[in-house]
Structure 1
């Protein structure tokens, strides 16, 4: 009898444990896991009108595999899995709503493709016209007086009746203001034109720089002399800009920029051909190593806060990777490096 009662008691304990384990599957966590992603040939994603795809090697973009830790089991896996970075949700998307975050990702990709087309066409001496369409708001500081007025994804058209083509022009104008002054902002929100009075604040304590507490970015539309189709499905963010640019350029010019090498890389690209810093570069060099990449381009550290060069050199040295890593500041530097290579 005692044994029977004991067995029943143990059975209840097992059922309770199983119940808890099942419940845990449905409890979300505030974390994301980032891991090395894939290496994807760009000739399959980029097509230039009258361009060629006869390269002996390949130009490839690198990706990061990012997943939401939708339950504690995935989070625990992230703590022990190799080459896995566990990040808090606010580190990934800040305090953005789903609508704002999606608008930001869409703009970043569109801007990346536009800048890649402009910069590569300029290097290939091909005509490309472009127009500025206001200033895209990619972020709003927590202490900004515009926090409850302007949202990520809005387009600023005028400040104090003045129109600005480039983000730098807006920043320069606001620098001349004193903190506490109010400026009249005309902007578009959800396709509706609005006007608001916004108080300026100090946005950089180290320099005393004044602004309205937003992260402004150029917003353009382009008309290239050759049609360019870039299939960016399932690719987020601006970090493929450099490699998009190289692939477009390679399809336009005569010859083969790859020389038979498997080339990959990462880095943002602006319309002037400058390469910028990206996040998660350690994951990308791991992915490149696993895919047998010969040459990997990455953004050179230029400013004090830049870390891409330090991180990638540390990762290569730590893991002992046999891969040629090449820092670049501009698209031109990457082109010149490949042009100087002997054929493989």
Structure 2
């Protein structure tokens, strides 16, 4: 056998090249990331309001993200105009899948709280029996360079250089967090309760910028709300606008009829609808799901592909636009 191997060594080497090449195409990672259409989820699956029947017309859209892509998967995605391929960002290159998932869950939690606050405050204008009280409590760590192992995604920064977040606006406290050197007082949930520790941060020139999201604590609200959606694997902030709309419509019991509405957009504490990622893929998913209306952030008006969709596109910029859209849908249904 050894003699045969030596005799045909060159031939075996030549024949192995196609197999090695095929293996590289199938499994070798590239420096690219891909986004594909996902599907729809009913917003009311994520919330439960005491004594309130939740509206079932509203849906959020999720996309599927892949990185790093293999050459084969890149080729497959390039064949579909509803999918996108982009070079991986510096943050993606520096982030593990575990940290990426943790960040998506933090973003979801913040998105839920923001949507609840906005919806309850909107509804309180129509019904004085609806109320909410909340406090700004600091920052969640959303991304940190991989070298900062002492910090975890989801840690809460409650003070910087001895100054408490509760004594500052979010904008001012955020600027403090971006100082080149600072001492942060950090809270972290653990099995034994809440840990508190000081972390001395020194920014390095090679670091990617850290990312934070605001931590608003809801002190009390009427009616009571539970969040079953926190237990789901889905994450991210882009459902904020649709969550706000569903909660508002449910709280004040606005009848808009049997219509299927999907949409996307983050929600800020200033009541603005913000930008998102994967718009093309979300529109494609909504088209496949045969929705009637799709809500898009005004900031993306020029980003909508020039193609025919089987639904009406409505652009929204803030909570005033939300009230106007819902009011028009109600009036059309009543008529």
**TM-score normalised by the chain length of structure 2:** 0.77
Q: Does 1:224 align with 2:224?
A: no
Deviates more, 1:104-113 or 1:242-251: 242-251
Q: Paired residue for 1:49?
A: 50
Q: Paired residue for 1:60?
A: 59
1:150-189 correspondence runs (5 A): 152-165=153-166, 166-171=169-174, 183-188=182-187
Aligned partners of 1:108 and 1:238 also within 8 Å? yes
Three-state SS of the structure 2 residue aligned to 1:81 is: coil
Structure 2 unaligned spans of 5+ = 1-9, 125-129, 190-194
Give the direction of change, closer, same or farther, for the CA distance of 1:163–1:84 in structure 2 (3 Å limit). Answer: same
Deviates more, 1:35-44 or 1:15-24: 15-24
Aligned partners of 2:68 and 2:88 also within 8 Å? no
Q: Paired residue for 2:101?
A: 102
CA drift of 1:53 comes to: 4.1
Q: Paired residue for 1:5?
A: none
Q: Paired residue for 2:29?
A: 28
Aligned partners of 1:297 and 1:334 also within 8 Å? no
Give the direction of change, closer, same or farther, for the CA distance of 1:26–1:280 in structure 2 (3 Å limit). Answer: closer
Three-state SS of the structure 2 residue aligned to 1:51 is: coil
Aligned partners of 1:52 and 1:251 also within 8 Å? yes
Computed over aligned residues only, the root mean square deviation of the Cα atoms, in angstroms, reads: 3.5
Whole-Å separation in 2 of the counterparts to 1:196 and 1:120: 38
Deviates more, 1:36-45 or 1:189-198: 189-198
1:311 to 303, 314, 329: 303
Q: Paired residue for 2:6?
A: none
Q: Does 1:328 align with 2:332?
A: no
CA drift of 1:116 comes to: 0.9
Whole-Å separation in 1 of the counterparts to 2:137 and 2:89: 30
1:82-231 correspondence runs (5 A): 82-90=81-89, 93-125=92-124, 126-140=130-144, 152-165=153-166, 166-171=169-174, 183-188=182-187, 191-196=195-200, 198=202, 214-222=210-218, 223-225=220-222, 226-231=224-229
Q: Paired residue for 1:76?
A: 75
Whole-Å separation in 1 of the counterparts to 2:121 and 2:11: 75
Give the direction of change, closer, same or farther, for the CA distance of 1:67–1:98 in structure 2 (3 Å limit). Answer: closer
Q: Paired residue for 1:283?
A: 281
- 1:11-45 Cα offsets, whole Å, 9 max, x none, are 99667634643464333333332112212222344
Aligned partners of 1:309 and 1:327 also within 8 Å? yes
Whole-Å separation in 1 of the counterparts to 2:17 and 2:209: 52
Q: Does 1:338 align with 2:326?
A: yes
- 1:228-280 Cα offsets, whole Å, 9 max, x none, are 33425232210001111111222222232x33322111111123432111111
Q: Paired residue for 1:261?
A: 259
Q: Paired residue for 2:292?
A: 294
CA drift of 1:97 comes to: 3.6
Whole-Å separation in 1 of the counterparts to 2:62 and 2:204: 38
State the number of aligned residues.
306
